Chains A and B, each alone.
Chain A
Amino acid sequence: MGTAPKSLLIADDDPLVQVTLKYCLEEAGHRTAVANDGREALAYLEQNQVDTIFLDVFMPDKDGLETLLEIKRRFPHVRVIVMTGGGKRGRYDFLSTASKFGADGVLRKPVSASDLMALVNPDTPRVKAG
């Protein structure tokens, strides 16, 4: 299925998540870059054109929600997908907060490849298996 390659940024402090997402997205033909926290992500956005950023909530130095707010203020054209798995360990639903803060999509870890692709290409209809 031919979709235009996009420039994607993965912001997560977990190396395993970085590698997994990078593999899935590059397999689909997209260009990816990786940031270890919110500050690095914002620094990257200042220098590069990015279509979509995958943003983890729990990161040191600058967390995902704070980064989300700043991206929406400074780079409104960038789509932001907020993801987390840690929220379940606590008692607070961070993904609903992310939606209130203007996230274009949310993902709960562990992330499935189909969900990931659906969020990268929101206009492409999802094909149900079977």
Chain B
Amino acid sequence: MPENAFLSAHPGSGEDLRIVSGSKIQMLGLDAIKLRLGPRWDRMSDLVHRYFKAAIKCEMSPGDTFCDFGELSYFLLFRDLSVAEAQLKCAAVIQSVCRRLFGEQGEDIAVRNLVAAVDAISLDTPHARARLDRALERDGREVIFSNKNGGAVPKAEQCIRVRAGSSPAAVHTVSSSKPAFVYRPLWDTARNVVLTYICHFLPDTISGGAVSGCPFMAAEGEADQLTLDILAFRECLQRASQLRSAGLRVLLAAPLHFNTLCRQSLWAQYSAVPAPGSVEQFRDIAFVVHGFDVGIPNIRLVHELPKLSRFSKHVFCISEDDEGFHTRFRNTGIHALGIALSPGKPERQVIARMNALVRDARENAMESFALGISKRSVAINAIGAGVRYLEGPTVRASVADPKHAFVHVVEDLYRDRDYAAEERHA
């Protein structure tokens, strides 16, 4: 059976191609390829390894390190590359191999980018660790096994800290646990309640580096994004069901990349995640669509975004605060426009952007929301401008008290108890 025919018969293979990446490390897993090849793997594995090695060598520069990491993975250490550059190289390797193996359908392989912005990589087997150790030693780098506090850790939580000789201070660690989630409250300023929560990957888990906070994404490929979207959606569905069972009605907002929506094959996988059922199943789910590149034509927005209305009556679209193109969302059927504020921007600029956002939203009969409100004064100005939903450490701190879990008013922002903590957090 030709590869393409095989793939057609087995759409949407379960596990995705795994990439574990650090700022200068990429580890390419072959699990998904093996899964897709199924019984053919045994006789094709040598070919796959050969393809991988050839593709990797094309992307390596003098001084870069590469080794067959065993257990269906490769390890790459790039010198003098940013995270984004390293990821691009890694994506090129995967694309090249998948194209050779599967033709055009190889593009559908979902790639999970587990660590996007940390100088660390998680390992869970001594065998893999030893290989990495040797590879790093060859490259003159120091490898430290420890937990965040520097102490010994159980095997399941082992982390590796990779410290480059030139920048000893650049050390971060990540846990090897699976992605976990956190729900950040959205304050509805019109009703003075917190009944909507946005789902984020926990920042200190592997995926957290890629998708937590605002903006949501680092530079990953769209297939990579699909996996994260599915994880978040599953989490939201499960949690919404639990909350309903407990008699609570809150709206959980799941992040969804625009590319996931656009790729028909990816969308098919995505929409197949929940069990078949009525829209009622999703009544407590909102979608926060992001990833709106300036190059996306308006007609595509009008075509793609209404797809979501079959799932949810709450579709929010969000862009970075320096992308002033909210007017493009006319006639897309979405319900709210938002911005993810970048920390460190001058407050006057931030306030001006929020004013423009509210104006654009109102002109199109939409609500507006702002994520990443880092200071109380910004929150107050946002409310004054008419921003409907707010998210940020100020709001989080204010709803930390169970008494204020749902009802939330402006006065809560000024409670002395939260003051110092908020400012430190911000």
Contact = CB atoms under 8 A, between A and B. Distances in A.
Nearest to A62: B377
Interface string A78-99: 0000001011011110100100
Contacts of A92: 189, 192, 383-384, 410
Nearest to A91: B190
A59 to B, nearest CB: 7
A56 B360 CA distance: 25
A62 B346 CA distance: 13
A60 B386 contact: no
Contact of B384 (A62, A69, A90, A101): A90
B386 A63 contact: no
Contacts of B190: 91
Nearest to A86: B384
A94 B384 contact: yes
Contacts of A65: 380, 410, 414
Interface residues of B, number: 20
Nearest to B348: A60
A97 B190 CA distance: 15
Interface in A47-80: 57-66, 69
A66 B418 CA distance: 13
Contact of A58 (B189, B376, B380, B411): B380
A101 B410 contact: no
Contacts of A61: 347, 377
Given A89-B384, A90-B189, A90-B385, A63 B377 contact: yes
Given A58-B381, A60-B351, A90 B376 contact: no
A128 B93 CA distance: 82
Given A89-B385, A92-B189, A100-B411, A63 B351 contact: no
Interface of A: 13, 38, 57-66, 69, 84, 86-87, 89-92, 94, 97, 100-101
Interface of B: 189-190, 192, 346-348, 351, 358, 376-377, 380-381, 383-387, 410-411, 414
14 contacts: A57-B384, A58-B351, A58-B381, A60-B346, A60-B347, A63-B376, A63-B380, A63-B381, A84-B384, A89-B385, A91-B189, A91-B386, A92-B383, A94-B380
